[in-house]
Amino acid sequence: MLRSVLLVLLIALCGISVSAETPFQALSDILDLEASLKAVSTDPALIEELRDNQRLVLFTGTIAARKIINGDEADFIGELELIDGEWHGTSAVSMYKSYLRLEGPRYYGTIPERRSRRQDPREIETNTRYLVIGEVIDLRREDRGVFPVINVMFLRRI
């Protein structure tokens, strides 16, 4: 299923590149390559711009938390917390975060409702690094800042 998302992106890129644009320009029209998790976590205006322009982002980070919002297979909605950080010297660290929204039956079973002795091969594990491509659909205000909510189109363990 994830391969079909990549295939759709590839077809879209090929269709766009048929025009006089360069392939890189076509890619940068749909995917904001400057929007890192750090940049988005520190600039609420950038989150709003990405949301308003419906541009895709590509992030990497570690899954810190996960929860099921709607556990029905047909209308499944789950949420992951993606974090990353950077050290400042040896005594301080900055943390960057976004929320990943998983919608649809293809994500059913990726977040277990309870612990099991046998792990489902589709399970998205916490404390594991992932690459995500998605669209910024919202921003979430919390005590520690404003964080993007990403509608996931592609998610892969790295």
3 lies in a domain?
A: no
8 lies in a domain?
A: no
56 lies in a domain?
A: yes
Provide the CATH number for the domain around residue 99.
Answer: 2.40.50.140
pLDDT at 119: 78
- Answer yes or no: pTM beyond 0.95: no
Q: How many domains would you assign to the chain?
A: 1
11 lies in a domain?
A: no
122 lies in a domain?
A: yes
* DSSP letter for each residue of 28-74: HHHB-TT--HHHHHH-HHHHHHHHHHT-EEEEEEEEEEEEEEE--ST
For each of the chain's 158 residues, which pLDDT tens digit applies?
556 655 666 666 665 555 546 777 888 888 988 899 999 888 888 888 999 988 899 999 999 999 999 999 999 999 999 999 999 989 899 999 999 999 999 999 999 887 767 878 889 999 999 999 999 999 899 998 889 999 999 999 99
83 lies in a domain?
A: yes
Range(s) of the domain holding residue 83: 21-157
16 lies in a domain?
A: no
